[in-house]
Chain A
Amino acid sequence: MSDATSTIQNRLRDKILPPLIILALALGFWELSVKVLDIPPWLLPAPSDVVDRFFKTTMLWYHTGLTVLEALAGFVISAVLGVSLSAGIVHSRFLERGVFPYVIVSNAIPIIAIIPLLTIWFGFGIAPKIMICSIISFFPIVTNTTRGLKATDRRIIEFMRSINATRSEILLKVQLPSALPFIFASFKIAASLALVGAVVAEFYSSDRGLGYLIITSATQLRTDLLFVAIVVLAALGVSSFMLFGYLERMATRGERTEETR
Chain B
Amino acid sequence: MEARRQRGPALTEVSATRSVAAGGSARSCIVLDRVSLRFQSERREVQALSDISLSIAEGEFVALLGPTGCGKSSLLRLVSDLLAPTAGTIAVRGEPAAAARRLNQFGFVFQEPALLSWRTALGNVQLPLEVVGYPPDKRITRCMELLNSVGLPKFKDAYPHELSGGMKQRVAMVRALAWNPPILLMDEPFSALDELTRGQLQDDLLQLWNRERKTVLFVTHNISEAIYLADRIVVMSPHPGRIKTILSPDLPRPRTDEMHETQDFLKWIRMAREALQS
Q: Using CB atoms and an 8 Å cutoff, list the residues of chain A in contact with chain B.
A: 153, 155-156, 158-165, 169, 173-174, 177-178, 180, 251, 254-255, 257-258, 261
Closest 7 CB pairs of A and B: A155-B114, A254-B117, A258-B161, A162-B108, A155-B110, A165-B131, A156-B114
A174 touches B116 (CB 8 A): yes
Contacts known (A155-B110, A165-B131, A254-B161); A177 close to B101, Cβ less than 8 A: no
A161 to B82, CA, bound (A): 7
A164 touches B104 (CB 8 A): yes
**CB-CB < 8 A to B160: which residues of A?**
254, 258
A155 to B80, CA, bound (A): 14
- List residues 55-102 of chain B with CB under 8 A from any CB of chain A: 77, 80-82, 101-102
B102 touches which one: A164, A178, A254 (CB < 8 A)? A164
- List residues 99-136 of chain B with CB under 8 A from any CB of chain A: 101-104, 106, 108, 110, 112, 114-118, 127-128, 130-132
> Which residue on B lies nearest to A257, using beta carbons?
B161
Q: Is B159 an interface residue (CB 8 A)?
A: yes
Contacts known (A158-B82, A254-B160, A258-B161); A163 close to B128, Cβ less than 8 A: yes
Question: Smallest distance from the beta carbon of B160 to chain A beta carbons, Å?
Answer: 7
B108 touches A159 (CB 8 A): yes
Question: Smallest distance from the beta carbon of A72 to chain B beta carbons, Å?
Answer: 27
Q: Using CB atoms and an 8 Å cutoff, list the residues of chain B in contact with chain A.
A: 77, 80-82, 101-104, 106, 108, 110, 112, 114-118, 127-128, 130-132, 159-161, 175-176, 179, 185
> Which residue on A lies nearest to B161, using beta carbons?
A258
A90 to B159, CA, bound (A): 27
A255 touches B117 (CB 8 A): yes
* Interface residue SS majority, chain A: helix
A177 to B130, CA, bound (A): 16
Contacts known (A254-B159, A254-B160); A169 close to B116, Cβ less than 8 A: no
A260 to B80, CA, bound (A): 36
B110 touches which one: A158, A258, A261 (CB < 8 A)? A158
A163 touches B117 (CB 8 A): no
A/B interface sample: 27 pairs, CB < 8 A: A155-B110, A156-B116, A158-B77, A158-B82, A158-B108, A158-B110, A159-B110, A160-B131, A161-B82, A162-B82, A162-B185, A163-B101, A163-B104, A163-B106, A163-B131, A163-B132, A164-B104, A164-B131, A173-B116, A177-B118, A178-B117, A180-B118, A251-B118, A255-B161, A257-B161, A258-B117, A258-B161
A192 to B114, CA, bound (A): 35
Contacts known (A155-B110, A173-B130, A258-B161); A164 close to B116, Cβ less than 8 A: no
B112 touches which one: A155, A257, A261 (CB < 8 A)? A155
Question: Smallest distance from the beta carbon of A161 to chain B beta carbons, Å?
Answer: 6
Question: Smallest distance from the beta carbon of A114 to chain B beta carbons, Å?
Answer: 38
**CB-CB < 8 A to A178: which residues of B?**
116-118
**CB-CB < 8 A to B116: which residues of A?**
156, 173-174, 177-178
Question: Smallest distance from the beta carbon of A179 to chain B beta carbons, Å?
Answer: 11
Contacts known (A177-B116, A254-B118, A258-B117); A162 close to B161, Cβ less than 8 A: no
Contacts known (A158-B82, A258-B117); A173 close to B159, Cβ less than 8 A: no
**CB-CB < 8 A to B108: which residues of A?**
158-159, 162-163
B106 touches which one: A162, A177, A255, A261 (CB < 8 A)? A162
A225 to B179, CA, bound (A): 66
Q: Which of B80, B131, B132, B179 has the most CB of A within 10 A?
A: B131
**CB-CB < 8 A to B175: which residues of A?**
159
A155 to B76, CA, bound (A): 13
